[in-house]
Structure 1
């Protein structure tokens, strides 16, 4: 991992909770009455989008 990739990851992880809230992504996809099922796919997609945007900005500052 390059320094820019590490920096992009750190920033993405830091702002991910805010992005999840702003985009109204549920932490859980379902509840069978006994277990809540974690919504990993949508959260990972959100992280990836944020990470790639930040990395792009770090690599190509305006």
Structure 2
């Protein structure tokens, strides 16, 4: 169309321009030491609130 977006007509599909921008943005958000956070979860639902920490810690996790 007629919408003049900045990355238009640079020979690269706009989708790839957006992915490249998002990748640079996300890598800029990470601390220099590595990942900012992680996700660990049990293979089954945990009771809430947790009443037995030993039983919770014995559950297999990924």
Q: Fold conserved (TM > 0.5)?
A: no
Tell me the TM-score normalised to structure 1 length. 0.30
Whose RCO is larger (CA < 8 A, sep 6+)? Answer: 1
Choose 1 or 2 for highest CA Rg: 2
- The structure where strand makes up a greater share of residues is 1
